[in-house]
Structure 1
């Protein structure tokens, strides 16, 4: 494809269309390959989930609460991930994380 004769507007339009088309084609290819693999598994007497362990999720234990709001026990935080807004506000107003530690 010779793109040297295309206008700037046409090139910009292509620039936005190409990633979308690539993504669409990749999804289509994944579906096609998955169907092929499922057919091969079925020919041999297996379900695909049996071979790849799909659908089996490991259960994780809940994470213990490390910090609790002093005025509202319903507000808690495990200390993982981003600080909740109430923690940020508490610290900005002169409090410390040590004051929020759950007993």
Structure 2
């Protein structure tokens, strides 16, 4: 069985080998990337991430309208407060249909 001192020396040697191998492989990778960039005429700007195009959303036509205030609701999602208040006050949903 190896002593602690021997194991620490082995670890130090391995850490040094890892650092050297990492530097060598990174250098090779950079050289490969530069070669490919030259081959295809790419620049650093070509490698930057571009923002995805915004997805177009279409507006939904209003199905219900408060004629007094001009507020509208498409009928999707939660009912707006003005419509809830009117319905709880005795009005019918059909009264606000556009």
Q: TM-score, normalised by structure 2?
A: 0.49
- TM-score, normalisation: structure 1: 0.47
Higher Rg:
2
Greater relative CO, 1 or 2 (CA 8 Å, sep 6+): 2
